């Protein structure tokens, strides 16, 4: 019987305290065949350099580029009117996030930017007659995952090219909240976020996906030293840090400062 188990982390956002706990959970599992990181590793968090060091310690890991990783490569802050995810460039929240991207790039230096440059847009694996696709959001865009209708259309194109495929699993990050949808032979999965949850649950998350004769999806929520992350934000005061402290504290988007 063909079987493979993936361990998944995503949307770390330089929350090194949570990432340390996540990796300890992964390392305690003896059946993990592949570790996959679905992106948004560095921006909007207090410890970019520490996060980079932890990610580089993962042997044989697959790293997918998220939209916030892309902004670092594009040097978003150098644009005349920088904006992201459809935000008004004159919105103070947008401007603060853009400045946070700049701060993060300065913290990472060339080593971190080179790491981001080597990330993949998407990764695909075939286990028996099951195809698994990993992206941050989608291969067509990195700031909005597909709807079920879009994903079913993608499924049809894939099966046309790979008639041996009987089942498809699409795994993404980006939304910072859990997603588990099934339609016919297609499953869409998102665990939430490892470092910056938006589902009002302050626990971090890792996920385990096992493919054999079935699709087994396990999300592990865990406690970590959240106070360390908040204290680092208060100490370093990166742009947007007040908002980030509130977001981490309440595990939802909080743009009140």
Q: How far, in Å, CA of 89 to CA of 240, rounded?
A: 15
Q: How far, in Å, CA of 30 to CA of 13, rounded?
A: 27
Given a cut of 80, is residue 69 above it in pLDDT?
Answer: yes
Given a cut of 70, is residue 176 above it in pLDDT?
Answer: yes
Residue ranges and CATH numbers for the domains of the chain are: 4-250 (3.60.21.10)
Average pLDDT for 132-141? 96
Given a cut of 70, is residue 68 above it in pLDDT?
Answer: yes
Q: Cα-atom radius of gyration of the chain, to the nearest Å?
A: 18
| Secondary structure of residue 93 in the 3-state scheme | helix
Query: pLDDT tens digit string along 208-240?
Result: 999 999 999 999 999 999 999 999 999 999 999
What pLDDT shows up at residue 48? Answer: 98
Which neighbouring-strand residues pair with 53? none
Band (1; pLDDT cuts 50, 70, 90)? low
What count of other Cβ atoms lies within 10 Å of the Cβ of residue 159?
Answer: 16
What pLDDT shows up at residue 255? Answer: 79
Q: Tokens 């949307």 — which residue?
A: 11
Q: Which residues contact 182 (CB under 8 A, 6 or more apart)?
A: 188
Average pLDDT for 117-133? 97
Is-contact 97 40, C-beta < 8 A? no
Q: How far, in Å, CA of 74 to CA of 170, rounded?
A: 27
Query: pLDDT tens digit string along 73-87?
Result: 999 999 999 999 999
Whole-Å CA distances, 90 to 67, 71, 118, 148: 20, 18, 32, 33
Average pLDDT for 53-58? 98
Band (254; pLDDT cuts 50, 70, 90)? confident
Q: What's the predicted TM-score (pTM) here?
A: 0.97
> DSSP string covering 71-121, please?
HHHHTGGGSSS---TT--TTSHHHHHHHHHHHHHHHHHHHHHHHHHHT-BS
Whole-Å CA distances, 62 to 3, 81, 103, 159, 189: 18, 33, 26, 24, 18
């Amino acid at each position: 019987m063909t079987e493979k188990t993936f361990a998944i982390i995503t949307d770390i956002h330089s929350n090194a305290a949570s990432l340390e706990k996540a990796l300890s959970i992964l390392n305690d599992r003896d059946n993990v065949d592949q570790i996959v990181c679905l992106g948004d590793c560095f921006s909007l968090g207090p410890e970019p350099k520490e996060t980079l060091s932890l990610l580089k310690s993962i042997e044989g890991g697959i790293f997918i580029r998220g939209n916030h990783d892309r902004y670092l490569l594009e040097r978003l802050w150098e644009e005349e009117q920088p904006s992201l995810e459809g935000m008004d460039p004159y919105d103070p929240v947008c401007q603060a996030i853009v400045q946070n991207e700049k701060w993060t790039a300065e913290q990472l230096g060339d080593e971190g930017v080179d790491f981001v440059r080597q990330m993949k847009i998407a990764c695909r694996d075939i286990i028996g007659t099951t195809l698994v696709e990993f992206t941050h959001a989608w291969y067509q865009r990195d700031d909005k995952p597909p709807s079920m209708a879009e994903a079913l259309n993608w499924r049809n194109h894939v099966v046309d090219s790979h008639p041996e495929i009987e089942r498809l699993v699409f795994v993404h990050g980006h939304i910072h909240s859990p997603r588990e949808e099934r339609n016919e032979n297609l499953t869409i999965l998102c665990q939430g976020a490892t470092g910056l949850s938006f589902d009002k649950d302050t626990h971090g998350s890792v996920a385990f996906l096992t493919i054999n004769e079935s699709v087994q999806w396990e999300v592990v929520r865990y406690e970590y030293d959240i106070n360390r992350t908040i204290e680092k934000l208060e100490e370093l005061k990166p742009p947007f840090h007040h908002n980030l402290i509130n977001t981490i504290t309440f595990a939802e988007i909080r743009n009140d400062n």
